[in-house]
Amino acid sequence: MIYKIIGVPILAFVIVGGYGYYSYKTKFGRWDVINSSPRDSTISWAKFEWNNEFLGKRYVKRISMNIPAKIEGLPYNLTFQFDIGSNYTKIYENPLKSIYQADEIRENRVKNPIEFWHKIGTIKDISIRFGNYKFTSKNTFVMKNHGDFIPKGNIIKGDTIHIGTIGADMFQNKVLIIDYPNQRFAILDEIPNEYRTDLIDIEMKKNGMPILPMKIKGKTYRIGFDNGSSIFPIICLEKNTSKFSSNLDTDTLKISSWGVQHDVTGKMITDTFELAGQKYSNVKVYTNHAGLGTGSSTDGNTGNALFWDKTIIIDYKHKKFGVK
């Protein structure tokens, strides 16, 4: 009898937790998009801004990409980091709480059993606008204890608040065009004719990260494209650095990966290599000694640095990548 008494609550917890985990994994990352641009407009562009910061004592430009945005129903100017290396779009809990407290709006949260042991909360029925695009989701991740909390009296409606990350989930089954020189991007259903240039077939990770082929020294490697790793031509785990360069380190940068500070070291790749059909030489490969933000399922990642003077096309639907 006692086994039944103990077993029933355990079974119930497993069922509830299992359902919570299933719903947690299946309800997120689904966004409906509306483009309000005129029908005769072939491409609707949204703007992004470069973020410049000090890394240690060094001032570094174009360290990340921020998207000016609005959350429907809130009066504040917001920015999200543009980071398709992130599986999902995320709202940061601390600035979100700041805004809700300032406007005395009740936080509209989904309670889910998985939250007891997961670091991510949820918010439902949110609409994010940037440019002519409106993205709506039933359930959106909230990163707990992340971002800057702003005291209630310090928030002014005209202020700009950094509130989250736009991830790869917003662009699934779409075409994403990033025009770096003009600091703009577009989301489309199909590739416009003027951008059907030198497209190559690529791999896509389950989380939506494009995997680009890199050819060097007669071998081909798998390099993830992560525009959240903006300033790095190539960055990889320590075990992979020797695949690309045997030179000595000539650079050290102190970076932050989701709030954790750590050093990366860089050395020159003197061999000519080909990445996504484009040839490069004399660029640096950085070693991520801490392993933060660099997955082990690829040979490394590339950020924006190799494309600053170019336009890239990512076709998530047909798994193609182009550089113009």
pLDDT digits (tens, 9 = 90+) for 244-260: 999 998 888 877 766 67
Classify residue 255: in a domain, yes or no: yes
Classify residue 179: in a domain, yes or no: no
For 319, residues 6+ apart whose C-beta sits below 8 A from its C-beta are 201, 202, 203, 204
CB–CB of 134/71 below 8 Å? no
Do 131 and 210 belong together in one domain? no
Higher pLDDT, 115 or 249: 249
Nearest 5°: the CA angle 242, 258, 187 is 90
Do 129 and 250 belong together in one domain? no
Give the residue among 221, 217, 196, 245 at the shortest CA–CA distance from 301. Answer: 221
Higher pLDDT, 116 or 130: 130
Do 154 and 198 belong together in one domain? no
280 to each of 216, 268, 275, 298, 319, how far by Cα in Å?
10, 12, 8, 20, 23
Residue 234 pLDDT > 80: yes
Among 39-48, 57-66, 157-166, the minimum mean pLDDT is found in: 39-48
Q: What is the mean predicted confidence (pLDDT) over 157-161? A: 79
How many structural domains does the chain have? Answer: 2
CATH number, residue 61: 2.40.70
Q: What is the pLDDT of residue 26?
A: 43
Do 167 and 43 belong together in one domain? yes
- Residue percentage of the chain with pLDDT more than 70: 80
Classify residue 22: in a domain, yes or no: no
Classify residue 158: in a domain, yes or no: yes
What would the two tokens of residue 3 be?
Answer: 């086994």
Classify residue 9: in a domain, yes or no: no
Q: What is the pLDDT of residue 39?
A: 64
Do 220 and 128 belong together in one domain? no
Instruction: Give the structural domain span for 38.
Output: 31-171
Residue 144 pLDDT > 90: no
Classify residue 90: in a domain, yes or no: yes
Q: What is the mean predicted confidence (pLDDT) over 213-238? A: 93
Domain boundary among 123, 139, 171: 171
Q: What is the pLDDT of residue 152?
A: 72
Highest mean predicted confidence (pLDDT) among 73-77, 169-173, 207-211: 169-173
CA 138/CA 147 separation, integer angstroms = 22
CA 78/CA 162 separation, integer angstroms = 6
Domain boundary among 139, 171, 203: 171
Q: What is the mean predicted confidence (pLDDT) over 291-314? A: 86
| pLDDT single digits (tens) 17-28 | 443 444 444 455
Q: What is the pLDDT of residue 4?
A: 46
CA 198/CA 323 separation, integer angstroms = 7
Classify residue 26: in a domain, yes or no: no
CATH number, residue 290: 2.40.70.10
Do 159 and 196 belong together in one domain? no
Do 216 and 146 belong together in one domain? no
Classify residue 25: in a domain, yes or no: no
Structure pTM? 0.84
Do 297 and 205 belong together in one domain? yes
Do 197 and 250 belong together in one domain? yes
Do 198 and 146 belong together in one domain? no
Task: For residue 112, report the phi and psi dihedrals to the nearest 5 degrees.
Answer: -140, 135
Task: State the alpha helices, DSSP H only, in the chain.
Answer: 2-26, 93-103
Residue 13 pLDDT > 70: no
Do 107 and 209 belong together in one domain? no
